[in-house]
Each structure stands twice: as C-alpha cells, then as structure tokens.
Structure 1
Amino acid sequence: MIHSYSDSKIVENILQLTGLIQEALNSLTRATMNISLVHSLLYNAGSYESAIAQSACGYLSCGYSGYTFPTQFIPNRQEVLMELKSAAKLCDILFYSYSDKSKLGNGRSLCLEAAETIQSPLLSLGDEIFAFQSALGYILPIYRRLGKLKEKKVVVSWGYDTRFSLPATAHALVYLSAVLGADVSIIAPKDFPLLRRVLKKSKKIAGESDGSVETVERTEKEYHDADAVFAFNWCSVNEFIRPERNKDLAFQYRDWQISKDCLDNALFMTEQPQRLDMIAERAVMDSSANLTSHWLESRILVLLASMDAIFRHNSTIRALV
C-alpha cells in the first residue's frame, strides 16, 4: 500500500515512534528492522538529505550507498524511472527524491508514479511540491511540547531572506498540520503565495480531521494567538522558471521579520541552516521559544520511525511518498 501522509493515524504513529527510537538509539541494530542495505537516488535534493540518510543508517548499523543521476545529460521521465527501479533492486529500501526545477509538479508526479510501479519498499525524501520528511522534522519538537496538534493554532508564515527555497516544506507543514487537526493560518505576501492546489487539498483533509486552513492578512494578532509559528523564505511559485526575479519581488517585503513582541508566547521554528537578523529578529532566534536547533535530530528520528512504520511486522505500508 502507498501512503501520502493523509492518514492521521500513520502520521501520529511516526511522531510517537520517535520517542521509543530515541530511547533505544544506543542499542539499535539492523536486526531491529531486518535492514541490511539502503540505497538512495536523489535529484536536486536539499543539502542535508544525503547526510541525514547516512546518519539514520549509521544508527541501524546497516550499509548505505548513495547514487546520483547522470550529469552528462538530463534524463527523461522513463529514464529516471528506470534508474530508480535499478537502484531499488538490490537493497531493502530505496530513499529517493526528485525536484524538477523546470516544470512545477513534474517531480511530484514522477515520485508518485515510481511508488506505483516499483514494488520494492520506497521512502520519498521530497520533491518540489511536498517535503513531508522535512516538515515532520519541524513538527516533532512542537508536537512534543504541545502534545497533539488537534485544536492548536499553527501559523505558516513567509519571512524575508535571500535564499528563496522551494515551498515544499511549507506545503507539507500546512498539509500535515491539517491532517493532525490543527487550525492553520497561512501568512504570505501576494507575490509569494502557496500553491492553490495544495491549499485545496489541505482544506479538504482539514475538514475530515476537524481542523481548518485559511490564508489571512499579516497582523500581530494572528501571530499572538498562535501556539506555533513556522517561518520560511520560499520562492514565488508564479516565477518558478524565472528565479532571478525573486530578489526584486522580495525587496518590497524586507520588513517581513518575526519580532519577539509579535511572537508573544508561541513556539517558533525556521529554516535550517539558521540565519541571524533575516526571517526573525535576534531576540527571537536567541529565545527558548526557538526550537529550530532540534530539527536535525528530529529529521533523523523521523526517518528511522518512518522506516520502522514500513518494516514493522504486519505493516501494510510499502511506500511513503
């Protein structure tokens, strides 16, 4: 069975498993999940992805081989699927990601097609639309502080910076928070909206989990009322194939910075690696409310828990995409 993190029981289970795994890190062996070899095949992946995969495999004392797509030419869709199928053949599980920087949504559909056609266990580390593993790494520290996110107010906010990452983590944060029953507010300038189809999908799942998803105006009250604020500097999806225009578009929003007064009592997380005096004021970054430093550890725990969810006895999950 293939899952896209739309089942709240699976998401809750992954988050809860991290606690058990963290307690057993010193004694984890590959026998725990009966995994001896992991392969990865990543295309335009984030800077942390390969190292996180290696760290997780290190805790399991299992082998890890990271493969890359050819650089002499740009493979077409069928060639990518052939590469993925080849990499998946000789391992227990394949970590993969594919972010297409020329056509928005192509990587997502390719990752889903791979999960449908390759019969080996698969775990996606993200694409240009959704980065669920990254988002769970941000949610976990908040989840542990607040307990379940149901009926909690979560803000996903754009903030001024100059890196203009793909909105994949922000999309996944909105969606997963909705799956967990949170009331999600999205705060973003008109030039940096999140994808309408992602918001539509998130609103639908929120209706099934007694949560809500809405785009709101930027006011101090919206931040004040929040239990958790996630702030990211994502690129303009309207200028996806013209990334050089992001800098000029963003300059008019250079005052979009999270302040200590604005944050009030909310917990806070932002992009890794953290930058000072950009998305948030130094007082926010230095405060105990900033849990961003927990993200890397959380990412590794979430990946281990996701592997456990796939390999657990009687599990019906073959792929998490």
Structure 2
Amino acid sequence: MLQDIVQIAKSIDSSGFSTIHEALQKVKVVGSIFHGESPLETQVTNITTARLGHDLIDLGWHDAATMSTDTMLDSVRMSSEAVDLLLTAFSSSDTFGEGRILTNQFADVSRVPLVSLHDDVYAWQDALTVLLGLESRLGSVSGKQVVVTWGFGNSFVNPAPAHSLLIAALAFGANVRLVTPSDFSFLNRVRRVARDTSMCSNVLFEEENEFEGSLKDADVVFALNWFRLDDFNHPERNQTHAKEFKNWFVDESTISKDCIFSSVPPVQSGLLASRKVLESDRNITPLWLKHRTIALAATIAHMVESSSPSMI
C-alpha cells in the first residue's frame, strides 16, 4: 500500500491535484476526529481538503479524556454514517499506546474509509511525506543507507514519525540504521516489526547507541528529538536525561556533503542541527507541508480507488 500511495503522490507532485479529482468525485464531505493531535494537523487537513474540493467537518470531542471507549466508538460509528471519509489523529496523554488501540477500534466500527494521520505509536502520513521528498530527490531509496537518529533539543515530541519511517524505509528497500541513546530507545514492538520487515525486504536493519561516526556513510539522515518513553507521564524528566547528549547534533562534520537531511517541523536550529545544514539544499524539511498535503491526498485517492477500508 505504501508504495502505491507514493506513486500517486509523485504523480500529484509533477502534474497537480487535478490528476486525482475524477477518482474522488464520490467524496464530498470529510469528517475529522482529533485528540492530542500534532500542531500542524489542522493546517494539513485544511489545505488538502481545499485542494480536493471537499468540505471538512470537525467531529471531534472536547471532553475525550473523560469519555468511555464505548461512547467514543458509538460516536465514530454515528459520524461515519454522515460523511464520506473520516480522518483521525488520536494520542492519549495518560497511557502511551492507548491512542493506537483506539485508532484500530475506530477503523473497525467506521462505515466509511478511515485515514489515521497519526496515533501515539505510528504516523504513516509523516513517513510517506519523508519518502516522497527522498524519492523526488534520489529517484529511489532502494539500496540507500538511511539513518534514523535521535537528536538533542529542549522541546520533545512523540516518536511516532520516526517509528513509521524506520519501518517504511525498510519496506522501500533501504538499509536502515537506528541511532539512539539507550535512554531514548524505541518501543520493542516497533523494533520487532523493523527486524521482520528487513528480513522480508532482504535489507539491513542495525541499531547503534553511539552517535559519533554513525552518520558518516548515510545517504539520508532523519533526526528527531523524541521524548523518553519511560517518562511518558513525567515529561519534565526529559530535560535531565537529554542534557548529557548535547553532542547528538547534526552539522557538516557529522554527515557527508551529499547526505540529505530531514526532520519534522519545527526544527530546533542550533540544537538538533546547525544553521548551515538547515539552510542548505540538502535539507528537505522546508517541503514538509507541501509533501504532507500531497501524501494525504494520495492516500485518500488510493483508498477510494482500491476500496480499502482504512489506512492506520
């Protein structure tokens, strides 16, 4: 599915959104159900639905934190009877992974196609966004060395985009190295999926806990300052754990001159990466919003054309 969506996205990128308008004629009204969403999701959905000529209706809940699971599922079921497509972005602030469980349940009860923009474990739309940027620049990521690395910062984000890119890049045929301090490691379940994906794709997945020298052979570096999973309920502790890793910083000395850099905006200049890297042509992050809207439009088109029930 991911490869098909990226191919549609490439077509949109080169020829415009009109290439999928005919396929989407049955989609008139799109509903959104967001809770704990990342800051740019509203911009992405507004731009995408405007490009596609759809009406976007907010169906979210202001009191989601106090609602029972059954009440939420009843609401999703009812909402899906009134719209042509549902977009969700759901992350729990209480229990890490609960958003993922609920997202799967939302897809099960929805009567219309459902696209998850992200939950607290996976963010496939972010992964598609980065892959579209990389394939537009490189032609293909197959056979390339991709490094997914934690980077220093003082504003910590959910690791879901990095989780998803790790697995998606392996599925696209890239060799992927995960570089993290031991304190900021990935979920074991994500690493298991990555190992399985690497075996199916016959590519290399490796893990490294030392930053120095780990990016030198990279064709692509994706860096993100994700929070410490063990302190999900105590975010104030991240600063203490992170301060000993200030050297996890991407600059011209840590990557080759041809290496492509990417992250999720906003990027913390001077902390995660140097101004020289961020202002160079190698940085594809400034194209994030454009590519994110294209990726979402391509996902919607693929789901409608293939009659897929969900993309979660």
Interval containing the TM-score (normalised by the shorter chain): over 0.9
What is the CA–CA distance in structure 1 between the aligned matches of 2:22 and 2:251, rounded to whole Å?
48
1:217-260 Cα distance to aligned partner (Å, 9 max, x none): 43544211111000000000011111110011111111211111
Q: Does 1:12 align with 2:3?
A: yes
Answering whether residue 255 of structure 2 is matched by residue 266 of structure 1, we say no
Corresponding residue of 2:108: 116
Which residue of structure 1 lines up, in the alignment, with residue 83 of structure 2?
91
Moved more, 211-220 or 92-101: 211-220
TM-score, normalisation: structure 2? 0.94
Aligned mate of 2:287, from 288, 294, 300: 294
Q: Structure 1 residues 229, 72: CA separation in 2 closer, same or farther (over 3 Å shift)?
A: closer
Instruction: Provide the residue aligned with 2:135 in structure 1.
Output: 143
Amino acid at match of 1:108: R
- The number of equivalent residue pairs is 310
Between the aligned partners of 2:105 and 2:52, the Cα distance in structure 1 is 29
How far apart are 1:148 and its partner, in Å?
Answer: 2.3
Paired residue for 1:317?
A: 308
| The one of 198, 221, 227 aligned to 2:219 | 227
1:134 paired to 2:88: no
Mapped to 1, the partners of 2:236 and 2:211 lie a distance apart of: 29
Distance 1:311 1:26, change over 3 A: closer
Deviations 1:83-121 (A, max 9, x none): 222222211100012101211111111111221232311
What do the CA deviations read for 1:159-214 (whole angstroms, capped 9, x no partner)? 11111101111100111111112111011111111111100011101110112222
Q: How far is 1:276 from its partner?
A: 1.5
| Residues 163-172 or 60-69, more deviating | 60-69
Q: Equivalent residue for 2:153?
A: 161
Distance 1:118 1:138, change over 3 A: same
SS, match of residue 262 in structure 1: coil
Q: Which amino acid aligns with 2:303?
A: I
Look up the equivalent residue of 2:38 and give its one-letter code.
Answer: G
Paired residues of 2:35 and 2:64 also in contact (CA < 8 A): no
Return the alpha-carbon distance in structure 2 between the equivalents of residues 319 and 212 of structure 1. 29
Percentage of pairs with the same residue: 27
* More displaced stretch, 180-189 vs 226-235: 180-189
Amino acid at match of 2:132: L
Distance 1:192 1:272, change over 3 A: same
Do 1:29 and 1:61's aligned partners in 2 also have CA atoms closer than 8 Å? no
CA contact (8 A) 1:185 1:215 kept: yes
**Two-structure CA RMSD over aligned residues (Å):** 1.7
Moved more, 28-37 or 45-54: 28-37
Do the aligned partners of 2:177 and 2:206 also contact (CA within 8 Å) in 1? yes
Provide the secondary structure at the position in 2 that maps to 1:64: strand
What are the Cα deviations for residues 110-168 of structure 1, in whole angstroms up to 9, with x where unaligned?
Answer: 11122123231111111000011012112211122222222211100111111110111
d(CA) in 2 for partners of 1:266 and 1:142? 11
SS of corresponding position for 2:222:
strand
Candidates 276, 293, 305, aligned match of 2:298: 305
Q: Which runs of 5 or more residues in structure 1 are unaligned?
A: 1-9
Q: Quick check: 1:202 aligned with 2:194?
A: yes
SS of 1:20's partner is helix
Residues 24, 64 of structure 1: CA spacing in aligned structure 2 closer, same or farther, 3 A cutoff?
farther
Are residue 212 (structure 1) and residue 204 (structure 2) matched? Answer: yes
How far apart, CA to CA, are the structure 1 residues paired with 2:246 and 2:17? 45
1:70 Cα offset (Å): 2.7
Aligned residue number for residue 163 of structure 2: 171
